[in-house]
Structure 1
Amino acid sequence: MNNAALPQDRKTLSGLDWRTADMGLSRLRSFVCLAEELHFGRAARLLHISQPALSQQIARLEKDLATILLLRTSRVVRLTPAGHEFLRGARSALAILDDAAYAAHFRAALASQSC
């Protein structure tokens, strides 16, 4: 999605302020894992959480974002268009945070070697 198409105040028609949505890193990682696996059981095992806990995290994320990210049936999990868009952003955000954590760790390791 082109960011120019997003409202400048980052609010939806419903008035949701994106800055107050509590996405949390664990929810982002859970969503990315589920979006890649497209299976609640496999994703839950990879995340080392129960399937109901994963389902609750995703439901809370969708509630906070006021949108449906995944279509679920008894046999199939699929991303919605909003889910595809959110997956792209979530992957980018997590990659940036992972890079920052690595850089901080690397800097600390260098500093401890020079002392």
Structure 2
Amino acid sequence: MFATPAFAQAAGGAGSAFTSFVPLILIFAIMYFLLIRPQQKKVKEHRAMVEGLRRGDQIVTQGGLIGKVLKVKENDEVEVELGEGVKVRVVRSTIATVLSKTEPAEKA
């Protein structure tokens, strides 16, 4: 007449297998929208910023050096002037931010 614990556990059946995965699926969805997706967006914006570098832009490297772009080279390098007569070659991916952008030359 009364249900023993063994019968009560068996009553869940096949539906409980799916319901046990629902929290796991929800945790993955939350992690995707809170961590993975914003990070991918940030990487995409940084790549676009680095691809848009032009001569005359003021930049900051990841090391904290501030300089002016002198030449954008083809092989992922940028020539930067840190001070008067101080020129260095910097890998494009190490540029953290662009402080001021130069306007593109107008075509006549």
Instruction: Output the TM-score relative to the length of structure 1.
Output: 0.27
Relative to its length, the structure with more strand (as a share) is 2
Q: Tell which structure's C-alpha radius of gyration is larger.
A: 2
